[in-house]
Amino acid sequence: MEHVAFDPNWWISAVELPVLGGMALTIWRSRAEFDTRLDSLEHRLDIGLGQSRETLAAYKLEVAKSYATTGYLKDVETRLTEHLVRIEAKLDGVQSAAK
């Protein structure tokens, strides 16, 4: 039997380089998959945020419509106008009394 001496060049070329190549390929694939998933998640988040904004805007509009009806606004306007007329009459009375 012949004794074969340990050759480091053989070990590097036969074992270490393929293992390192496989590790590099695995890292590259993991990174690519991570980027793809991150882009997908960002897209879903943008869509969800847009829908939330639209829903909130619609809700605000609905609240604004139902909060103050036209009849109620006309009633408030009438009361304000009457009150301002009374204030104006009082000011006219004070002004004419001062003359």
pLDDT digits 0-9 by tens, 13-29: 888 888 999 999 999 99
31 and 60 fall within a common domain: yes
Residues 84 and 94 reside in one and the same domain: yes
pTM (whole model) above 0.75: no
Query: Which pLDDT score, from 0 to 100, does residue 12 have?
Result: 76
The reply to whether 73 and 92 lie within a common domain is yes
Give DSSP secondary structure letters for the chain: -PPPPP-HHHHIIIIIHHHHHHHHHHHHHHHHHHHHHHHHHHHHHHHHHHHHHHHHHHHHHHHHHHHS-HHHHHHHHHHHHHHHHHHHHHHHHHHHHH-
Confidence of residue 96 (pLDDT cuts 50, 70, 90): confident
The answer to whether residues 48 and 95 belong to one domain is no
What's the domain count of the chain?
2
Whole domain around residue 93: which residue ranges?
68-99
Is residue 91 situated within a structural domain? yes
33-83: pLDDT as tens digits: 999 999 999 999 999 999 999 999 999 998 888 877 788 889 999 999 999
Q: Are residues 63 and 76 in the same domain?
A: no
The answer on 53 and 41 residing in a single domain is yes
